[in-house]
Amino acid sequence: MASITVVLLVLLPLLLSSLVAAAHSDGGFGFQATLTHVDAGKGYTDAQLLSRAVRRSRSRVAALQSLAATPAEAITTARILVLASWGEYLMSMAIGTPPREYSAILDTGSDLIWTQCAPCMLCVDQPTPFFESAKSPTFKKLSCSSPMCNALYVWDCYKNTCVYQYFYGDSASTAGVLANETFTFGTNGTRVSVPKIAFGCGNLNAGSLYNGSGMVGFGRGPLSLVSQLGVPRFSYCLTSFMSTVPSRLYFGAYATLNTTNTSDSGPVQSTPFIVNPALPTMYYLNMTGISVGGDLLPVDPSVFTINDADGTGGVIIDSGATITYLAQPAYDMVHQAFVAQVGLTLVNVTSPDDLDTCFKWPPPPRKKVTMPELVFHFEGADMELPLENYMLIDGSTGNLCLAMAPSEDGSIIGSFQHSNFHVLYDNENSLLSFVPAPCNLV
Ligand SMILES: *[C@@H]1O[C@H](CO)[C@@H](O)[C@H](O)[C@H]1NC(C)=O
Ligand SMILES: *[C@@H]1O[C@H](CO)[C@@H](O)[C@H](O)[C@H]1NC(C)=O
Ligand SMILES: *[C@@H]1O[C@H](CO)[C@@H](O)[C@H](O)[C@H]1NC(C)=O
Ligand SMILES: *[C@@H]1O[C@H](CO)[C@@H](O)[C@H](O)[C@H]1NC(C)=O
Ligand SMILES: *[C@@H]1O[C@H](CO)[C@@H](O)[C@H](O)[C@H]1NC(C)=O
Ligand SMILES: *[C@@H]1O[C@H](CO)[C@@H](O)[C@H](O)[C@H]1NC(C)=O
Ligand SMILES: *[C@@H]1O[C@H](CO)[C@@H](O)[C@H](O)[C@H]1NC(C)=O
């Protein structure tokens, strides 16, 4: 179990010469951006893609558990230990004047937008040059009294400059100066420059960036991109993580679920977000049950609720996890229902890293097998999962596996389960909506 790490603040030298900002306010807006899977184009086989993704998911669920297992009296400290691993998707964007392109890891589990800045005291490898704030006239350090500085969990004041620190659950961290800067988002036609976005210019960073050059927080807190852009809604349509077609992100005015004139199909379903006061950044959902093969499993509803005393439990939707983690009692019932309903032999688990609801699928010519339908029930919405969103073929063994694992604490609905859904996060109305969609066409 991870403990809370207290890192001493290192005061940073003043870093810039400031020219006059040419910032002006932009009108209402939106944009479309491309999301690239972190392992795309690296030549991994499907089996390798899968094991890499499962390993990343596992570190994320471990982070959630260590965070939730923090004693209630230390909850204020726990809040600064932001839950995140490194996510699964990279978003293309540009920073500064003139704009310099880079890719940032999209994270719905944290808020801060940050990139590594020169001069670097401690930096990790990234594919683009470190951002040189001194060369960008729109870069403006924020004072210690600025609202964005005060929205940080850990900050310090150095010569009236806001110096931030931000920790991720897997012991990664970033520290540097909090500043305003112009960011440019969107692909052709929807390209938009937005001045005065507060971001972390990190001079002291640890962890791995998985070939990104920073992170972009899409959480519910004030520092996130969603909150800062003033139109607090976005949607994404994730292609299968084994697909070579990139995924799409829509922001602001572009974030709508069209049922008539796009490829979106089927009825739009909506369910409210709920707030966990211990982790207000995360998108919690009110999960009410799970059906396998048409039978509603007798899961005690308390298995999915947030424990008010310490913020443990609950169900989050998270683009940064791949497979779904279900609280152990719910997972056990799903496992038993699949074992009872799938007419194939259950495979014995040989390694603790293996998925443990796997069935022997005799080699080709393969007989047709029927899999039970799987439905996640939320308050006001049923998510009927297409087969490819919950069963996968383990490339190394040929076994058919359920893409889920047990969690000792809360549950996480991962991206594998919501790929090929167009998913809309409407923070203004505190509502998650989704509709099945072929994301390679949207
Ligand atoms: C953007 O537009 C330019 C000029 O029309 C074109 O060359 C480029 O391929 C376009 N890029 C994308 C991603 O559509
Ligand atoms: C930073 O941006 C915020 C929000 O637009 C603005 O209110 C503030 O004055 C800016 N601060 C500086 C130093 O540019
Ligand atoms: C970064 O990309 C290179 C080549 O594209 C790859 O070999 C390396 O494993 C990647 N690093 C990470 C941490 O994903
Ligand atoms: C949704 O449909 C409307 C009307 O057909 C169109 O103007 C809008 O661009 C569409 N939005 C998306 C995200 O496809
Ligand atoms: C929507 O689709 C229908 C049929 O494909 C088409 O006739 C109609 O013009 C479209 N409407 C808009 C606004 O694009
Ligand atoms: C699984 O393990 C049990 C106990 O070790 C053994 O009896 C059984 O034959 C094994 N099943 C398969 C399919 O290997
Ligand atoms: C979750 O949904 C159920 C069923 O609609 C409702 O009774 C319950 O109050 C909801 N829980 C929260 C925390 O909103």
Task: Point out the residues that are catalytic.
Answer: 107, 318
| Amino acid, res. 208 | S
Task: Provide the percentage of residues in the chain whose pLDDT is more than 70.
Answer: 83
Q: Which of 261, 263, 264, 265 to mutate to test the pocket of ligand 5 (most atoms within 8 A of CB)?
A: 261
Angle at 229 between CA 224 and CA 235, to 5 degrees: 75
Cα of 286 from ligand 7 centre, angstroms: 6
Rounded to two decimals, the pTM is 0.84
261 lines ligand 1 (CB under 6 A): no
Domain chopping of the chain, boundaries: 30-252, 269-436
The rounded Å distance from CA 265 to ligand 5 centre is 14
236 has a pLDDT exceeding 70? yes
Q: Which residue, by CA, sits nearest to atom 13 of ligand 6?
A: 347
Nearest ligand (C-alpha, residue 105): 3
User: Distance between CA 194 and CA 205 in Å, rounded?
Assistant: 26
Instruction: Identify the residues whose C-beta falls under 6 Å from ligand 3.
Output: 42, 208, 210-211
Nearest CA to ligand 2 atom 8: 196
Percent of the chain topping pLDDT 90: 49
Nearest-CA residue for ligand 7 atom 7 is: 379
CB within 8 A of 207, min separation 6: which ones? 86, 124, 168, 170, 171, 172, 173
Nearest residue CA, atom 7 of ligand 6? Answer: 348
Nearest to 220 by CA among 414, 434, 417, 425: 425
Please report the pLDDT score of residue 370 as a whole number: 83
Give pLDDT tens digits for 60-80: 666 655 555 554 433 333 333
Q: What is the pLDDT of residues 174-207, one digit of tens each?
A: 899 999 999 999 987 889 999 999 999 999 998 8
Q: Which CATH number fits domain 269-436: 2.40.70.10, 3.30.1360.200, 1.10.510.10, 3.30.160.620?
A: 2.40.70.10
Could you say which architecture CATH assigns to the domain 30-252? Beta Barrel (2.40)
Residue of 273, 315, 379, 432 with the most ligand 7 atoms within 8 Å of its CB, for mutation: 379
Q: How far is the CA of 417 from the centre of ligand 7 (A)?
A: 23
Task: State the Cα–Cα distance between residues 310 and 50, nearest whole angstrom.
Answer: 33
Average pLDDT (19-43) is 63
274 lines ligand 7 (CB under 6 A): yes
* Same fold: 30-252 with 269-436: yes
Nearest atom, ligand 6, residue 360 CA = 13
Residue 244 Ramachandran class (φ > 0 left, ψ -120 to 50 alpha, else beta): alpha
Look at 50-59, 354-363, 408-417 and tell me which has the smallest mean pLDDT. Answer: 50-59
Q: How confident is the model at residue 329 (pLDDT cuts 50, 70, 90)?
A: very high
- For residues 382 and 368, the answer to whether their CB atoms sit within 8 Å is no
